[in-house]
Amino acid sequence: MSMLIVEQGRTIESQRTLIRSLFADSSELSHLKGQAVQKQRAEAQAQAEAKAHAQSQTPSTQDKLREQAKNGSSSHKTQKPVPQKPPTDTAASDDERRNVLTI
Q: What is the pLDDT along the chain (103 residues), one digit of tens a residue?
A: 999 999 999 999 999 999 999 999 999 999 999 999 999 999 999 988 888 877 776 555 666 667 666 666 555 556 777 777 766 665 555 556 666 667 7
Contact 29, 35 (CB under 8 A): no
- Residue 35: the pLDDT is 96
- Residue 26: the pLDDT is 96
Q: CB neighbours of 74 closer than 8 A, spacing ≥ 6?
A: 68
- Residue 52: the pLDDT is 81
Contact 74, 68 (CB under 8 A): yes
Phi/psi at 5 (5° precision): -65, -40
- Residue 24: the pLDDT is 95
Please count the residues of the chain. Answer: 103
